[in-house]
Amino acid sequence: MHDSSFGFSAPASLTHANTFRLNSRCWGLATPTTESALWQALNSVPARHRGVVILGGGSNVLLPEYLDALVIQPKIGGIRCIAEQGTDRLIEVGAGVVWDELVRVSLAQGWFGLENLSLIPGSVGACPVQNIGAYGVEVAERIVRIRAVNRQANSSHQAWREFRPEECSFGYRESRFKPADNPWVISSVTFRLSTIPRLVLDYGDVREAAGPVPTPQSVSQAIRRIRSSKLPDPANIPNVGSFFKNPIVSAEFAANVKAQHPGLPTYPQRNGTVKLAAGWLIEQCGWKGKAIGPVAMYARQALVMVNTGQAGLVDVIQLTQAIQLSVKQRFGVMLEREPVMVSGPMV
């Protein structure tokens, strides 16, 4: 079955639509390229009847073998400068634009501010969902507006609204859009970028790697090199990036753990809490490079789970729980999974 009004086909395979390469199929797939097509897809008979799952680039999801749902992958494009305010530029970007394409285009246009987020996989529509972050920058710091449609609304008139960042509950790998019952489907995101570079260099090896006279371009290239050397390319080794969040604990708790484990890397936060390096905790428990069945923790980065064969969701859950248990027993810290477990449609 195929319908071109919102790019509908049924049934559909999602195996190549998720970077962990979990074998997955769904009842139907829609790929709307405009806001009105997105609205139509959300209100189509299959959507109303079976429920909907929203998918971007599939780089932060764990999919089941079968989803009895209409999966909607917004493919709305466009990167437009909609306002110039002094040296600031407001850039409105469609949800379907590939995130790293936006980073490249903005650098080429001389709109700076996204360089530290180079090479993160996924779509622009998903970037606010877990407030993507890397090398000292979180995307929430660059967002001015998010346009979204409420999939539970009865009329198009009431369905659309815009969110300011302060309405989005942004936190570390969190936002109001991440919980499974979030009804909002993001159609575009507007960023405030600048024609004046304001480089963020104090994270990891960025300062040394960006050269003696760093520029936004050299920072972007440096981060691309660092990431490529540490993280497996999902095209070759299926993965979803960091598998666990870095735990945030009280200063007192961190001090206690550090007293027993002096090598523990700790990152004090502005609000007095302390972020611990989940990768270090996992490595200390002996999981780096270790497999259970067809899933393993990557040999060069203990925080990344990789699919080494024909893994299914059950294998992922088994390794997740084994790691959570040993980290909890050794350090008293419960690791939280970062990718979204898609268990079923939302009606």
Ligand X SMILES: Cc1cc2nc3c(=O)[nH]c(=O)nc-3n(C[C@H](O)[C@H](O)[C@H](O)COP(=O)(O)OP(=O)(O)OC[C@H]3O[C@@H](n4cnc5c(N)ncnc54)[C@H](O)[C@@H]3O)c2cc1C
Tell me the closest approach of the beta carbon of residue 125 to ligand X, in angstroms. Answer: 3
Tell me the closest approach of the beta carbon of residue 185 to ligand X, in angstroms. Answer: 5
Helix (H) or strand (E) holding 225: helix 216-230
Separation CA 172–CA 177 (nearest Å): 13
DSSP helix/strand/coil, 220: helix
Tell me the closest approach of the beta carbon of residue 69 to ligand X, in angstroms. Answer: 11
- Tracing tokens 């963020």 back to the chain, one arrives at 200
Q: Which of 92, 101, 141, 338 is catalytic?
A: 338
Pairing of strands 61-62, 340-341: parallel
Q: Which of 21, 173, 192, 337 is catalytic?
A: 173
User: Do the beta carbons of residue 29 and residue 53 sit within 8 Å?
Assistant: no
Tell me the closest approach of the beta carbon of residue 266 to ligand X, in angstroms. Answer: 20
Q: Is 155 among the catalytic positions? A: no
Q: Which is nearer to ligand X, 31 or 257 (CB)?
A: 31
Q: Which of 151, 192, 242, 337 is catalytic?
A: 242
DSSP secondary structure of 232-292: --TTTS-EEEE-BPPPEE-HHHHHHHHHH-TT--EEE-TTS-EEE-HHHHHHHTT-BT-EE
Tell me the closest approach of the beta carbon of residue 139 to ligand X, in angstroms. Answer: 8
Q: Which is nearer to ligand X, 70 or 257 (CB)?
A: 70
Q: Which is nearer to ligand X, 22 or 193 (CB)?
A: 22
Residue count (the chain):
347
- Tracing tokens 């360089």 back to the chain, one arrives at 115
**315 Cβ partners below 8 Å, 6+ apart?**
292, 293, 294, 295
Q: Is 338 among the catalytic positions? A: yes
* Residue 124 main-chain phi, psi, to 5 deg: -65, -35
Q: Which is nearer to ligand X, 53 or 323 (CB)?
A: 53
* Chain contacts with ligand X (rule: CB under 6 A): 19, 54-61, 74, 95, 120-123, 125-127, 129-130, 132-134, 177, 185-186, 231, 234, 239-241, 340
Q: Which is nearer to ligand X, 52 or 276 (CB)?
A: 52
Q: Is 173 among the catalytic positions? A: yes
Active site residues: 173, 242, 338
